[in-house]
Structure 1
C-alpha cells in the first residue's frame, strides 16, 4: 500500500511539476514588480514581514522591537535581527514555516550550509550579495518561478499606482489587484470613519446617503477591474449575512459612529450580500475568508497595530452564515 501511495503521489506531482503558477491570493507588494529594485536585506525579506516567523520568536520571549517591528521609526540592525532568527531556528522544527523557509534558502537563494547561530553572518552576507544580482530582482524571480498570474490583495482605498505602472510597462508578467473592501464595509474596523472619508475623497462622492456609498464602491470596483482585477476578498471572523429591506438609516448610523456592535454586525452582513450582487453585475469572483479571529493578542494590537499575527481559527457555520446571501443571489 505504501508503495502504491508513493507511486501515485509521484505520478501526480510529475504531471503538474512544470505547469505555470496561477496565484489567486499572493501576499506580495505590487511595488516589487513595478519598481524592480533589489530587496533591502535578508531580515527585511525573510523575518520582519512574516508574522508566522516573528510570532514564534515573540512567543519565546524575544521583544518585537528587537526584530525591527514597532511604531513608525522603530529600527533594528537587520544583521542583528537575522542573528536572532538563526539562533532560534530550532524552534521552527516540525512547522510549515521551517519547510518553506528551508526551501527558499536552499532552492531559491542557493544557500548550501545549514542555518545556525554560527553560520548566521556568513549566510546573511551570501544572501545580501545575491539580492543585488540581476537574477534575484523581483521580475527575474517571477519569471524563474514560472508564474503566469499573481493576484495581490489591495485595500479599497489603494490608488493602484503600482498596478497602473505595471500595465503601462512592457514587462509581460501579469500582476493584478484583488479588491479587499473590509475597511469600508465593516463598521467595527477602528478606522471605519476615516476610511469612509478617504473613500469619499478618492471617488468624489458625498457618501451622505446609502445610494452614494454604493455608487462609490461600484466606482472603485470598476477601477480595480480596469487594472486587471478578477476577484474580491472579504475577511470576517464569525460568518453572518443578512438582507436588510431598508439599510439607509443603519448606514447613516454606522457612518456617524453611533451604531451598536450588533447593528454594525448586521450592517456588514448586509454589505456582504451587496458585494455578492455587485459580483453578479461586474463578474468579480467573491472570496470569503471566514473563521479566523484576528488580532487576538490585545497587547500586540495596542502596541503594534492590526494584523501582527495572533490569528486563531474559529468554528464556522457556513450553512446558516451564508443562508441569506445564497438565498438572495445563489440562483443567479
Structure 2
C-alpha cells in the first residue's frame, strides 16, 4: 500500500520510504513493499500486533537492520549511500533498557552527543536532563537507577544530538504514570519545535490522543494510513441505545431498514450506524418510533475507540 502525503499538502516529506522489504535468512518475510511518507513536524503513530513488522521497519530506518529491497530517505539523505548524515538526523528510543550500567548519566548522554559528531553543548544536555527529571541524577551510575529512570536516560540519549526525526518504540511500556506524563509533555514540546515523532505503542489511547496520522501494519504489510480524525469518521462505528418504557418481544418489521437489536431482555433498542448514516438515520428512527407508539425513557450513544478500529482491521487482514 502506498501511503504518501496528500498532493495538496505542499510539504516535502522528512522521511520517505519506498518499496521497503525485508526477508530474513530463515525465510520469514517481515516487511512487504512498504511505501510511506511522513511530513516534517508530524506525530505519526504506527500500530500493529506483535510480529507485525514495526520494530523491523524502525531498525531499517535507523541503520540497525539491513533491508532486502527498497529505499529510505531521511531529511534528504539516503540511509545507505549517505549513512552518517542520515543517521545524525535520527534519534531512537528503543524498547529494551540497554545502556552502559557503569557509566554516569552525564557521561553517557555526553558521549551520545559526541558519537554523532555534534560539538559540545552542555547547556542543551542540561535542558534535556532537567526536562526528564534526571538533573539530580546526573552523577549517578546507571546501574543504580530504577527501571523508570533508566528509560528516561534512553530518551535523553536519543535527544542528545538534537535529531529532527525521533522514533519512540513502545516508549511507555511498563513505565510509571509520572514518566508517561512527563514524556508526553516533552513529545508535545518537541513537535511544537518542529521535530518529527514516529511512535509505536500498545497503548492505543495514547495514539488516539497524540497522533496526527495513524498507520496500521500487520504481517509486514501497511494496511492503512489515515489522518486520525478521518480514520475515526470513516471506520468508527457509533451506537445509539434507547431504554424503552415497555419491553419488546421482537423488533417490529416496520423497522427493517435500521440495523436494530434488542438488548437487556427487550428493555432496550440498540442502533449501530456509521458517520454517513448518522444524520438521516437517527431522525428517521425516532420519527418511526413515535408513529408506532414506542416510547423510550432514556438514550445514550457511544462510538468506536481507535482500539476497536485497530482490532477490526487486523482481524480482517487475518
What's the TM-score once normalised by structure 1's chain length?
A: 0.26
Q: Where is the helix percentage greater, Structure 1 or Structure 2?
A: 1
Higher relative contact order (CA 8 A, sep 6+): 2
Higher-Rg structure is: 2
Q: Where is the strand percentage greater, Structure 1 or Structure 2?
A: 2
What's the TM-score once normalised by structure 2's chain length?
A: 0.27
